[in-house]
Amino acid sequence: MERAEVERYRLALFGRMVMGVAHEVDNQLSVVLGFSELIQLAAGKEQKVRDGAGKILSAGEKIGAIVHQFSLHVRPHSPSPEPFVPGELIPGILLFSRYDLGRENVIVRPPPEIPQGILHADRRDFGLALLALLFNAAEAMSETGGELSMRVSIDAAGWEFTVSDQGPGIPAGIGEKVFEVGFTTRPGPLHTGMGLPIARHLAGQAGGTLQLANGTGGGCVATIRMPLKARA
């Protein structure tokens, strides 16, 4: 048996355990938050104590948000299109993924602004498609580092979500091959060649498209375009 198979099994097994771990963390976190609030109430005029308890409470709430968002997106489900606000979805997925995205000297640049509006799609599937593009971009810069940036816009034609990196770009001759299941240019069990095919499939299911192109200044630009109205 090759070592890659061992690592794939490890990832699959720990993926099954994630929900249980998140549940246990949430239980312990409720204790931290509860006692932080009690300390604030009991501190009276002791401002340093109140401030310290406030910092604990704030950190605990951030941990809770990360666990909640991660648990929401990792849970298997049947697709169920619904109207949702991208401006509420994107900060959440960036929150729980920023550590992994920011490895190897990769700097993550969130969207400078996210327009107000409604997108009609399965919220978690769309989040998975965006995550696939974000991780693909981060992995492209794993040897050199660089900036990973995301932009969101909307006009009469629909929504546009772009993820740009400063990696080597798409090699000549494999523009469409990167969307074939299992195709990858990077060795190792983490690189399964599934991210881009899944992202395009999920975008297509919601009536959208996914395209890749080399950036004018280098790197790669991945663009998901989504219609304003729900797919009939």
**Is 60 exceeded by the pLDDT of residue 189?**
no
Q: What is the pLDDT of residue 231?
A: 63
Q: What is the pLDDT of residue 175?
A: 67
Angle at 94 between CA 190 and CA 92, to 5 degrees: 120
**In which band, very low, low, confident or very high, does the pLDDT at 161 lie, cut at 50, 70 and 90?**
very high
**In which band, very low, low, confident or very high, does the pLDDT at 214 lie, cut at 50, 70 and 90?**
very high
Residues 72-102 pLDDT 10s: 888 888 888 999 999 999 999 998 898 889 9
Local structure of residue 186 (DSSP, 8 states):
S
Residues 22-48 pLDDT 10s: 888 888 999 999 999 999 888 888 899
**Is 80 exceeded by the pLDDT of residue 9?**
no
Assessment of whether the complete model's pTM goes beyond 0.85: no
Local structure of residue 101 (DSSP, 8 states):
H
Cβ neighbours for 202, distance < 8 A, ≥ 6 positions apart: 122, 125, 126, 128, 129
**Is 90 exceeded by the pLDDT of residue 221?**
yes
